[in-house]
Amino acid sequence: MTLNREHSSKGYKINAGTSTVTYNFYGFTVIAETVINAITAPTGGGIENNSYDGDEAGLAGVTLPVGYYPIRGSAIDLTSGTVILWTE
């Protein structure tokens, strides 16, 4: 069986609180409608050996419906909701 990046091969962390969680993740799944207060981009290259060049500040205050989001990060702070962070 081959796993793809939407599946946990290294583990995961559930964030259901409103404190900043520092954790290297390659994406997250929203399991209850979520509002992100802040998200921090990773500083190193991912497993593809490239650096992240996203616009993570644009997610602040946005309501995200249930679903998978292939957004890398090294820290996340929620205003509300619950996410599963997939270990990078």
Domain boundaries, the chain: 12-87
Residues 6+ apart with CB under 8 A from 45: 51
Chain-centroid distance, C-alpha 64: 12
Nearest CA to 5 out of 82, 88, 66 is that of 88
pLDDT at 85 over 90: yes
Three-state secondary structure call for residue 57: helix
The token pair that represents 86 in the structure block: 């997939």
According to DSSP, residue 41 is labeled -
pLDDT at 83 over 90: yes
Q: What is the pLDDT of residue 72?
A: 86
Q: What is the pLDDT of residue 9?
A: 73
